[in-house]
Amino acid sequence: MRVQVKTFGALTDILEKEFYTTAADTEELLTVLSSQHTALSHRKLLIAVNNTIINKPVVLQENDVVALMPPYSGG
């Protein structure tokens, strides 16, 4: 499926801020991006699909929006 990917924080130093790509699910998306950008393979990420943070792989639908974010902490 063709999805829109948005990145935030320090991830914008590795990936474009916003781009389109194809992937069947979030696990495939991360595998492909990590193979293309080795700096991603060692980072912990928060992933949101259509504004909902996920904790396990999700099957992607055409035109879903996937947000990749560094972990956040509050204070």
Q: Is 33 left (phi over 0), alpha (psi -120 to 50) or beta?
A: alpha
Number of structural domains in the chain: 1
Backbone phi and psi for residue 64, each to the nearest 5 degrees, phi listed first: -65, 155
Find the domain containing 43 and state its range.
Answer: 2-69
Average pLDDT, the chain: 94
Domain CATH for 15: 3.10.20.30
- Give the per-residue pLDDT at 28: 98
Q: In the predicted model, what is the mean pLDDT of residues 16-37?
A: 97
Backbone angles phi, psi at 44, to 5 degrees: -85, 140
- Distance from CA of residue 50 to its chain's centroid? 11
Q: For residue 75, is pLDDT > 70?
A: no
Asked if pLDDT for residue 26 goes beyond 60, the answer is: yes
Would you state the pLDDT for residue 66?
A: 98
